[in-house]
C-alpha cells in the first residue's frame, strides 16, 4: 500500500509540472515538438534540398560519334554545347570521321579545350577547301546541277589528298596526350589484301609497311570485295586506341576515317583496315561503350536525321540520341556524295551551328525530364514519410519514461 505522504508528494509534482506546462508556449507558437519536428510538418523545399538531387548535366557520360565525312562539323558544334554545360565525358567511341573527332577530343586536356581544337580543325579544313564553284551560299538544298558542277572539285579537295588527314591528326592529336587521355575506341573493318586485283605481278611480292599507308595498285577492287564481304555478314571491329604505339595509333584512326573507294586502307599491326562506318554496319559505335565504361549513360551523336538504331538495343545502358533536326544530305542522286565531301566554309559553319542548337534543344529536354523525375521521387518519398508519421506517437526527450509531462512517471501503482 502506498504511503499517503508519497501520494501527496506525487500530486504536488504533477501540479508543478502542469503549472510549468501552462507557462510554456504551445506548438505553433514557438515551442519545439517533442522528439523533433515531424517530416510532414516541415517545409517541402527543405526536404527536397536534403534529398541529394543530382544536376542531370553532371551525370558522367560516354560519347559515341557516328561517321559521315564532311558532316562531322556537326559533332564539333555538339561538343561545344557539352563543354559549355560542364558535361563530364568519361570515354569516346568514333566511326570514320567520328574517329578523327573523337581522337581530338580524347587527347585534349578537358572538354573546353577539345571544343576549341575541334573548331580549329574544321575551320582549317574549310579555309583550305574554299567556297564551291557553283551555288555559292547554298548550304542545305544545293540543286542537282550545282552538285554535278561541284563534285569534281570536291573529289579533288584537300580531304582526299594523300597526307592531308595525316597532317591534321599530327597537328591536333599528341600521341602521349592521347595515351593519358580519355579512353578512345574506333570502328574499323578488316580489309582484304590491298593488292588483290592488281595486274602487276610484282605488287604481290612487295613488302607492305607494318603500320602505315597501304602501297600497291588494287585497292579499289579490294574495296568492292570488302563491300561484298560486309553485305555477307562480316562485321566491324571496335579497337581500343590509347595503349598503342604512336605510329599504330595514328594509322588506326586514319584507317577508320578513310572513305572506301576514295582512300586506300591503312596497315595496322600488319593488318589492312578500312572505314568501319560504311562497311560492317559500324556507323554508330555505342556497343563499344555500353557495358565497358563506368557509367550508364551514352550520348550518341548521329549525322543523319533518322536514328540508326533503337535505344533499347543496349539493355542496361541509357542511350540518349542526338540527331540532326534536318537532313544533312542534299536531295538527288549525288546528295550523299555532296553532303559527305562538301567542306566549303558556309557549309561547315552551318553544320557547326546546327549541331550546337540541336544538342541544346534535345539534351535540354532530356535533362528537364531527368530533373522532374528526381523531384517527383523526392516529393513521393516526402509524402510517404509524412503519412507514415501520422501513426507514430510523439517521443518525449525528457528524463521520464512515459508520454506525460516532463518528470512524470508511468508507475502503474500511482
**Active-site residue (options: 193, 275, 342, 358):** 275
Parallel, antiparallel, or unpaired for β 212-213 and 61-65?
unpaired
Pairing mode, strands 266-268 and 61-65: unpaired
Pairing of strands 297-301, 237-240: unpaired
3-state secondary structure of 322: strand
d(CA 40, CA 18): 28
Q: Are 89 and 62 in contact (CB under 8 A)?
A: yes
Residues 266, 212 contacting (CB under 8 angstroms)? yes
> Quick check: is 275 catalytic?
yes
Q: Which of 151, 130, 163, 328 is nearest to 258 (CA)?
A: 163
Between CA 383 and CA 97 the distance in angstroms is 51
Q: Which three cell numbers stand for residue 183?
A: 579512353
Can you read off the three cell numbers belonging to residue 101? 573527332
Annotation says 96 is catalytic: yes
Residue 13 grid cell: 509534482
255, 169 in Cβ contact below 8 A? Answer: no
Whether the Cβ atoms of residue 299 and residue 247 lie closer than 8 Å to each other: no
CA-wise closest residue to 37 among 374, 24, 378, 46: 46
- In the structure grid, which three cell numbers stand for residue 314, read together? 543496349
* Angle, helices 246-257/97-107, rounded to nearest 10 degrees: 140
Residues labelled as active-site residues: 96, 275
Amino acid at each position: 500500500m502506498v504511503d499517503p505522504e508519497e501520494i501527496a508528494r506525487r500530486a504536488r509534482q504533477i501540479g508543478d509540472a502542469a503549472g510549468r506546462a501552462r507557462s510554456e508556449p504551445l506548438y505553433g507558437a514557438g515551442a519545439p515538438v517533442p522528439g523533433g519536428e515531424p517530416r510532414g510538418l516541415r517545409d517541402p523545399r527543405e526536404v527536397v534540398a536534403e534529398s541529394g538531387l543530382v544536376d542531370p548535366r553532371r551525370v558522367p557520360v560516354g560519347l559515341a560519334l557516328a561517321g559521315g565525312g564532311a558532316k562531322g562539323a556537326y559533332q564539333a558544334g555538339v561538343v561545344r554545347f557539352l563543354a559549355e554545360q560542364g558535361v563530364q565525358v568519361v570515354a569516346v567511341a568514333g566511326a570514320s570521321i567520328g574517329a578523327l573527332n573523337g581522337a581530338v577530343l580524347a587527347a585534349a586536356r578537358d572538354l573546353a579545350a577539345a571544343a576549341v581544337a575541334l573548331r580549329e580543325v574544321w575551320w582549317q579544313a574549310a579555309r583550305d577547301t574554299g567556297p564551291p564553284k557553283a551555288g555559292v551560299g547554298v548550304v542545305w538544298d544545293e540543286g542537282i546541277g550545282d552538285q554535278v558542277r561541284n563534285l569534281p572539285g570536291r573529289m579533288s579537295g584537300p580531304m582526299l589528298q594523300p597526307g592531308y588527314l595525316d597532317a591534321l591528326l599530327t597537328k591536333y592529336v599528341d600521341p602521349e596526350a592521347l595515351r593519358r587521355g580519355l579512353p578512345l575506341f574506333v570502328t574499323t573493318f578488316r580489309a582484304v589484301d590491298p593488292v588483290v586485283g592488281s595486274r602487276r605481278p610484282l605488287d604481290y611480292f612487295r613488302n607492305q609497311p607494318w603500320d602505315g599507308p597501304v602501297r600497291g595498285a588494287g585497292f579499289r577492287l579490294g574495296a568492292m570485295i570488302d563491300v561484298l564481304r560486309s553485305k555477307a555478314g562480316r562485321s566491324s571491329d571496335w579497337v581500343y586506341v590509347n595503349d598503342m604505339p604512336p605510329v599504330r595509333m595514328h594509322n588506326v584512326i586514319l584507317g577508320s576515317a578513310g572513305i572506301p573507294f576514295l582512300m586506300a586502307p591503312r596497315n595496322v599491326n600488319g593488318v589492312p583496315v578500312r572505314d568501319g562506318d560504311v562497311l560492317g554496319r559500324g556507323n554508330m559505335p555505342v556497343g563499344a561503350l555500353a557495358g565497358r565504361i563506368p557509367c550508364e549513360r551514352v550520348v550518341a551523336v548521329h549525322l543523319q536525321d533518322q536514328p540508326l538504331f533503337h535505344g533499347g538495343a543496349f539493355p542496361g545502358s541509357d542511350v540518349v540520341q542526338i540527331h540532326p533536326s534536318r537532313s544533312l544530305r542534299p536531295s538527288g542522286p549525288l546528295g550523299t556524295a555532296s553532303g559527305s565531301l562538301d567542306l566549303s566554309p558556309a557549309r561547315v559553319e552551318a553544320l557547326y551551328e546546327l549541331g550546337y542548337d540541336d544538342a541544346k534543344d534535345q539534351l535540354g529536354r532530356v535533362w528537364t525530364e531527368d530533373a522532374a523525375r528526381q523531384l517527383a521521387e523526392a516529393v513521393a518519398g516526402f509524402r510517404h514519410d509524412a503519412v507514415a508519421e501520422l501513426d507514430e506517437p510523439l517521443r518525449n526527450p525528457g528524463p521520464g519514461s512515459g508520454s506525460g509531462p516532463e518528470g512524470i512517471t508511468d508507475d502503474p501503482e500511482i
